[in-house]
Amino acid sequence: NAGVTQTPKFRILKIGQSMTLQCTQDMNHNYMYWYRQDPGMGLKLIYYSVGAGITDKGEVPNGYNVSRSTTEDFPLRLELAAPSQTSVYFCASTKNEKLFFGSGTQLSVL
């Protein structure tokens, strides 16, 4: 099993550009999450999904969108990138109250 796979690992965007962070898991987990990690701020939940076709907002959803058309995939969309979205993004899935994290995407918006 590859676990949770995120792409890309690094990305630089210009203000106003859009992009999609990809996340896929091969563990057949129903629950999936997107977090952002900022220095000194810990991890903040952006969106989560409890299964295909079901998504919900977390703590900091503004500026982001998600979809969950399949159990495996949970992409995160930034429509109009802003400098405040410079962060490290982690995708995760859950089984038995244990989160499995991807290796992260480092995004800079300049």
Partner 1 sequence: AQSVTQLDSQVPVFEEAPVELRCNYSSSVSVYLFWYVQYPNQGLQLLLKYLSGSTLVESINGFEAEFNKSQTSFHLRKPSVHISDTAEYFCAVSEGGATNKLIFGTGTLLAVQP
1 or 14: CB nearest partner 1: 1
Dihedral angle, C-alpha 84, 41, 103, 99, nearest 10 °: -130
For residue 8, whether the previous peptide bond is cis, meaning omega lies within 30 degrees of 0, is yes
Which residues bind to partner 1, rule: CB under 8 A? 4, 31, 33, 35, 40-45, 48, 50, 56, 58-59, 90, 92, 94, 97-99, 101-104
Minimum Å gap between C-beta 96 and partner 1 is 9
Nearer to partner 1 among residue 78 and residue 104 (C-beta): 104
Q: Shortest Cβ distance from residue 16 to partner 1 (Å)?
A: 29
57 close to 49: Cβ distance less than 8 angstroms: no
Q: Of the two residues 85 and 93, which places its CB atom closer to partner 1 in the complex?
A: 93
